[in-house]
Amino acid sequence: MVPLQSIALLFVALGALLVVLVRDVVRQALILSLYGFALVVLFLVFQAPDVALSELVVSAVAYPLVVVAAIARIAAHRKRRGE
Amino acid sequence: MKLPLRLAVFGVGVAGLGFLLVWGVADLPPFGHYAGPYGDIITKLVEPQRHMANAVTAVVFDYRGFDTMGEELILFSAASAVALLLREIRERDTVDVVDAIRSDAIRGLGVLVAAATLLLALYVVSHGFVSPGGGFQGGVVISAAFLFVFLTGEYHAYARLMPTKFAEPLESFGAGAYVALGLIAFGFGLAFLENFLPLGVTGRLRSGGSAALVNWASAFAVAGGFLLIYAEYLEGNMAARYRRSKP
């Protein structure tokens, strides 16, 4: 179990770093989704399936969707104002 | 601010945070060692007391059901606030909303995935006291099922399936039913949210007593809340994209 846990921790650390380093917001939202999935694997290998389930839908599906929708909305708003 | 000054401020902040972090981590119990008594007590008591196999859901909807009601209402008010803030333009202000994806294969796949996801969601909710899952997780999965309909291209189908006028009552019904179940316990001379139904057999679908109903109430509230949030964003986006030139 320990090697599996180490790999999961490594992926989470890598994902968190990537989310901060990427500057393009749409790409950031996609990487955030992948980072959420890394967290799901982490929770699973640490034997917390209940938390993993919540994390799976909230941070890998629902939250990125809301972020992408907000970005699209701001883009449409800017376009209308002719920026 | 000049760069050296910013770096100095950043350095002080990082040094302070680093110190607190190391200080905190140094005093943690060793990795894999659990010091608190509550987890052990709950895992011993949950089966004889509540006839539930999943101790996590038992804690969430029974032992600390009142706290969960507070969390429920946080989500309720968050979803309501999103609706209040974003509801500036509506679908009736738009012309000719076009569904972006016209491939039959993708649409067919979308319906298939949505149906499978909905089934999984109902499984996750109903087996909350048997296997990992429960009302909150299942509720979000319910909302994700409707998202697949939107993602595979059919805004019209999505809007017809789950318009705001369904999401709102679903959310309110769930949140209201949660509180109502707590109040019904008063009628039996019990404490707020205390179990008033037969507990059933551990590991069966009908185990858990009245907490099983609380579980379903929270599933409806969570699904409704998330659907309301999606609907506000998606409808707002569609309305902004296909807005009438002269309102």
pTM confidence score = 0.82
Q: Which residues contact B100 (CB under 8 A, 6 or more apart)?
A: B153
pLDDT tens digits along A9-34: 999 999 999 999 998 988 999 999 99
Q: What is the mean pLDDT of chain A?
A: 88
CA A5 to chain CA centroid, Å, is 19
Taking a C-beta distance cutoff of 8 angstroms, is the pair B75, B225 a contact? yes
Tokens of residue B163, six digits: 């318009």
pLDDT of residue B247: 45
Mean pLDDT of B35-53: 87
pLDDT over 80 (residue B159): no
Cα separation, B67 vs B61, in Å, equals: 9
Cα separation, B46 vs B26, in Å, equals: 33
Contact B236 A73 (CB under 8 A): yes
Residue B94, strand partner residues? B243
Cα separation, B185 vs B54, in Å, equals: 23
Would you call B233 an interface residue with chain A, using a CB distance cutoff of 8 Å? yes
Q: Which residues contact B189 (CB under 8 A, 6 or more apart)?
A: none
Considering only CB atoms, B140 lies closest to which of A62, A66, A73, namely A62
Residue B243, strand partner residues? B94
Rounded percentage of chain B residues whose pLDDT exceeds 90: 30
Tokens of residue A23, six digits: 């500057």
Mean pLDDT of B33-53: 86
Q: What is the mean pLDDT of chain B?
A: 84
Q: Which residues contact B85 (CB under 8 A, 6 or more apart)?
A: none
pLDDT tens digits along B77-90: 998 888 888 776 56
CA B152 to chain CA centroid, Å, is 23
Cα separation, A29 vs A26, in Å, equals: 5
pLDDT tens digits along B120-149: 999 999 998 888 888 888 998 898 888 888
Query: Shortest CA distance to B224 belongs to which of B138, B129, B113, B101?
Result: B138
Contact A73 B141 (CB under 8 A): no
Nearest CA in chain A to B148: A61
ipTM, two decimals: 0.80
In one-letter notation, the amino acid at residue B191 is A
Cα separation, B75 vs B112, in Å, equals: 29
pLDDT of residue B222: 92
Contact B147 A76 (CB under 8 A): no
pLDDT of residue B246: 47
